[in-house]
Chain A
């Protein structure tokens, strides 16, 4: 299996996205904005459709359009302060509408279906370089903005008082989310992408640790989910995205059971 070049490409890209997704996801989940991931993954589908229509690399198209939609979500916060969930509905309508209109027009020179479910066969050398570039820039930005992002998520007022430019960093973060989604879309697919952003974080949160440890465990769970999903889906011949989501849910359930068993054991030991 590892002798196939398409599988080597897939493993390479998967490793990067399994590190990148939870790093972005932890901030989205803790801001109670994990559905932004879902909205922006639909934005990436519209971007892919535009890329295919304009005959440019679809991942590049996804990155550009997803960044615009991420910035649009941030911009609309000013106008819908009390109805933030409505913003996602508005942007989702724009994205799904654009994607369906372009795909159904019959003018695409390639098939957009592989992006819906994820595919390991279609990862090209250029995709790999693009994913490498997007991941490297994103991780570097995350390291630079680490403390600012923690405080904007934890206590926005305190961050503002400490001189953090909250709005500017929120815009930068939107582009980071767009970058993670664009990098992941080829393998994971639009339909389950948001689960790859949220589920490893949800699993790590069950451990009840501090921020840094939670982030490290999110990455560990994410690498486990994506690699297991990739290898098993190869052998049973199904799309990797869907199977990875199933593995992520299974790991979460296992951790929840282990947590429950541990607390029951502790109660019995005490009594």
Chain B
């Protein structure tokens, strides 16, 4: 699904690189969490995969055009935009040229937000607006879902609902999920693979391997993957 070879990126086009020789191979149906410290290049890698920015060098291919994207809520600061939940989703449906008008209500029902169709997006809580962004991301028949820190600013109950929903989409519908995570527990509990980025380079491992290697002295972590 996603393949990168010796991928490099710098915002100036010259060293030092934010991403410095990334090799990555993600297959269909995986749930991959990208983790790493602030400034390690997590969001940059995600934006490269989304083709919002171009690599400085190296190769990157994504074998799907049906991609859903859930931005980081703190980046998505347009919360005072006068738009209702229905308008935001319905306009997106029109952009994707999807003819079925019921899709909006169908997706809202899937994320448990049907009763909020006429609410202004700016009046929703963190968890509620995250669910709306997920409903938008799964509009259409998406094969790949990319999320940027889905639990930031979201209460515990909503976090559980969101991760439960993502796992369901991954396990039951086979949707490949790539999630930039700051929530280590969520990454270890939900992912099938973890991509750990450090100083512009990364390696892919299973949650068990990651916990053994990096978290051995930080207490117990549950494995549901």
**A interface residue numbers (CB < 8 A to B):** 30, 146-148, 150-151, 153-155, 157-164, 205, 208-212, 214
Contact = CB atoms under 8 A, between A and B. Distances in A.
B95 interface: yes
Interface of B: 50, 52, 67, 69, 71, 76, 78, 81-84, 86-88, 91-92, 94-96, 118, 120, 136
A57 to B, nearest CB: 38
22 contacts: A30-B82, A147-B94, A150-B87, A151-B95, A153-B81, A154-B78, A158-B69, A160-B52, A161-B67, A161-B69, A162-B92, A163-B96, A208-B82, A208-B120, A209-B82, A210-B82, A210-B84, A210-B86, A210-B118, A211-B82, A211-B83, A214-B82
Nearest to B91: A147
A157 B71 contact: yes
A154 B82 CA distance: 9
A233 to B, nearest CB: 31
B117 to A, nearest CB: 11
A163 to B, nearest CB: 7
A74 B223 CA distance: 51
Contacts of A147: 91, 94-95
Given A154-B88, A208-B120, A212-B87, A164 B95 contact: yes
B80 to A, nearest CB: 9
B20 to A, nearest CB: 24
* Secondary structure call for the A interface: helix
Given A30-B81, A211-B87, A212-B87, A163 B95 contact: yes
A34 to B, nearest CB: 15
Nearest to B93: A147
Contacts of A214: 82
A154 B50 contact: no
A148 B78 contact: no
B91 A151 contact: yes
B69 A211 contact: no
A159 B92 CA distance: 8
A30 B94 CA distance: 20
A155 B82 contact: no
Nearest to A146: B91
Contacts of B94: 147
A148 B118 CA distance: 21
Contacts of B120: 208-210
Given A209-B120, A210-B84, A212-B87, 8 more contacts: A146-B91, A147-B91, A150-B91, A153-B81, A208-B120, A210-B87, A211-B84, A211-B87
A158 B76 CA distance: 11
B81 A154 contact: yes
B84 A157 contact: no
Contacts of A211: 81-84, 87
Nearest to B140: A162
A146 B52 CA distance: 23
B95 to A, nearest CB: 4
Top 3 A-B pairs, shortest CB-CB distance: A210-B84, A162-B95, A147-B91
A155 B137 CA distance: 13
B132 to A, nearest CB: 12
A19 B84 CA distance: 23
Given A158-B136, A161-B50, A161-B67, A210 B95 contact: no
A243 B126 CA distance: 44
A134 to B, nearest CB: 26
Residue with the highest number of chain A CB atoms closer than 10 Å, among B50, B86, B92, B96: B92
B147 to A, nearest CB: 13
Contacts of A146: 91
A158 B72 CA distance: 12
A112 B78 CA distance: 41
Given A155-B71, A157-B69, A162-B92, A150 B83 contact: yes
A212 B91 CA distance: 11
Which of A30, A153, A161, A164 gathers most chain B CB within 10 Å?
A161
